[in-house]
């Protein structure tokens, strides 16, 4: 099938499309996009399950590491105040992991923006297509109504005026038949009228979902950024309570990162399958939802020389009928006006209606050509298969960096706070504060001496 103008499947689409897929029984699944089939759904769920497996292995590794650190640590000699060897390395490894996480957050913001831009381009293309289809319907109904009004009023009046000339009445009736034929042919051009599928509604639904998706990722990115900043602050201040709280928050963000990674991976794989050959799926889905003939859908989605315009016959017959009406009116104006001056007014009105109808007809010819709607189709695919897919891949990279960095930080933070001096909670305490443990001990000794 032909590809939309300006759209070619990218290297990422080909690479992801070539990845093997399997269902829950690990049986191979074809990589064709078929979301309605159970095997394909299981293949995407298996991709999400791989992220869950990664989360489980990560948590097991962290737990084993921390248990080994707590249980297998050699006892400190009493009164030892010197720092343990390797303490600086532990702290700096934790700082490096947090800096990597911050870099991943920047990548995540970029990926979130790219995905949003792709969906916005898709919504804009749908809105423009809806405008084109609505314009076709509006022009058709306006022209048919105008012709019907002309048949009911001006042509009827003209026939009454020309009653005594049989040949002139026959010419007027011929113009009436041609006008009715034009109206009948034009009514068949409003092919999207009464179709249950509305591009406007689809665009609004996409924008609604995208708004909440974008907001959810922004909140996730900001949460991870705050966790990194406050963790670095806790390490700099050697505040044990702040580091403990941020360790718990890092565990929460780690779970969220692995969850988002599974969703992003499944979405990227499914989107690559769709973008590798979108025409087949879109044609079948649109025909199922709208009930339109395949000739019409092939014409607009493929738009090549191998597919002819399904409305060409109607347009040709309408153009001939308009030319015949124009010929009849010219003949009546030449023959009837000198003998029946009262026929001039309805003839002028009919000429004006004919001019407006011809203008609307030329607009319909331009709107019904496949170039406009096919261009919208190509813009929608570029937004979805280029910008949105690229954004998903950047979000996937963010989740991967975030999961690795937070796992490293979770292993390093307990060792880091174990190196903090035990008096860190009282460093900022005033010496005259009665709640200071040292001042309280001196106060008790003073009372005993009294």
User: Average pLDDT, stretch 108-120?
Assistant: 96
Are the beta carbons of 62 and 407 closer than 8 angstroms? yes
What is the Cα–Cα distance from 268 to 275, expressed in whole angstroms?
Answer: 10
pTM score: 0.84
- pLDDT of amino acid 334: 84
Q: Which of 93-97, 283-287, 335-339, 415-419 has the lowest mean pLDDT?
A: 415-419
Q: Containing H/E element for 97?
A: helix 87-150
What is the Cα–Cα distance from 269 to 139, expressed in whole angstroms?
Answer: 43
Lookup result for tokens 């979301």: 35
- Residues in the chain, how many? 450
Are the beta carbons of 271 and 231 closer than 8 angstroms? no
Which residue, 392, 404, 409, is CA-closest to 104?
404
CB proximity list for 50: less than 8 A, separation 6 or greater: 262, 265
What is the Cα–Cα distance from 300 to 373, expressed in whole angstroms?
Answer: 6
Q: Which of 9-18, 65-74, 167-176, 275-284 has the lowest mean pLDDT?
A: 65-74
What is the Cα–Cα distance from 446 to 179, expressed in whole angstroms?
Answer: 116
What is the Cα–Cα distance from 222 to 17, expressed in whole angstroms?
Answer: 32
What is the Cα–Cα distance from 319 to 227, expressed in whole angstroms?
Answer: 70
Tokens read off for 182: 């034009």
CB proximity list for 425: less than 8 A, separation 6 or greater: 240, 241
What is the Cα–Cα distance from 19 to 192, expressed in whole angstroms?
Answer: 39
pLDDT band at 25 (very low <50, low <70, confident <90, very high): confident
SS3 22: strand
A 10 A CB-CB count for 444 gives: 9
- pLDDT of amino acid 449: 52
CB proximity list for 214: less than 8 A, separation 6 or greater: 112, 115, 116
pLDDT digits (tens, 9 = 90+) for 59-112: 999 999 888 877 765 555 555 444 454 456 777 888 888 899 999 999 999 999
CB proximity list for 126: less than 8 A, separation 6 or greater: 199, 200, 202, 203, 206, 376, 380
- pLDDT of amino acid 3: 57
pLDDT band at 193 (very low <50, low <70, confident <90, very high): confident
Tokens read off for 85: 């060897």
Which residue, 408, 86, 113, is CA-closest to 231?
408
């Amino acid at each position: 099938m032909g590809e939309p103008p300006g759209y070619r499947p990218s290297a990422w689409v080909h690479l992801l499309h070539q990845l093997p897929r399997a269902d829950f029984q690990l049986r191979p699944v074809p990589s064709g996009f078929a979301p309605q089939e159970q095997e394909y759904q299981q293949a995407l769920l298996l991709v999400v399950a791989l992220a869950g497996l990664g989360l489980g292995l990560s948590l097991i590794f962290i737990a084993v590491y921390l248990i080994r650190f707590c249980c297998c640590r050699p006892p400190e000699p009493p009164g030892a105040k010197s720092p343990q060897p390797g303490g600086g390395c532990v702290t700096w490894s934790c700082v490096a992991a947090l800096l990597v996480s911050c870099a991943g957050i920047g990548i995540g913001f970029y990926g979130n923006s790219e995905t949003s831009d792709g969906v916005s381009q898709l919504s804009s293309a749908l809105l423009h297509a809806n405008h084109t289809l609505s314009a076709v319907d509006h022009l058709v109904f306006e022209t048919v109504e105008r012709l019907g009004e002309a048949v009911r009023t001006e042509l009827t009046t003209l026939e009454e005026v020309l009653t005594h000339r049989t040949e002139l009445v026959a010419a007027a009736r011929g113009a009436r038949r041609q006008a009715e034929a034009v109206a009948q042919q034009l009514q068949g051009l409003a092919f999207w009228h009464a179709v249950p599928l509305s591009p406007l509604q689809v665009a609004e639904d996409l924008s609604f979902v995208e708004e909440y998706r974008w907001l959810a990722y922004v909140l996730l990115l900001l949460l991870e950024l705050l966790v990194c900043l406050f963790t670095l602050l806790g390490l700099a201040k050697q505040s044990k309570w702040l580091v403990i709280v941020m360790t718990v928050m890092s565990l929460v963000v780690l779970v969220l990162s692995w969850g988002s990674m599974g969703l992003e991976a499944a979405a990227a794989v499914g989107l690559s399958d769709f973008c590798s050959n979108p025409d087949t799926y879109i044609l079948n889905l649109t025909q199922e939802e709208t009930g339109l003939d395949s000739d019409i859908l092939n014409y607009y989605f493929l738009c090549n020389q191998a597919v002819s315009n399904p409305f060409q016959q109607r347009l040709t017959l309408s153009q001939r009928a308009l030319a015949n009406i124009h010929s009849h009116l010219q003949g009546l104006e030449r023959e009837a006006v000198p003998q029946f001056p009262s026929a001039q007014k309805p003839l002028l009105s009919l000429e004006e209606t004919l001019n407006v109808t011809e203008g609307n007809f030329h607009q319909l010819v331009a709107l019904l050509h496949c170039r406009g709607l096919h261009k919208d189709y190509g813009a929608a695919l570029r937004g979805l298969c280029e910008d949105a897919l690229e954004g998903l891949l950047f979000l996937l990279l963010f989740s991967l960096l975030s999961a690795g960095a937070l796992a490293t930080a979770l292993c390093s933070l307990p060792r880091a706070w174990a190196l903090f001096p035990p008096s860190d909670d009282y460093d900022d305490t005033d010496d005259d504060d009665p709640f200071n443990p040292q001042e309280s001990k001196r106060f008790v000794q003073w009372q005993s001496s009294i």
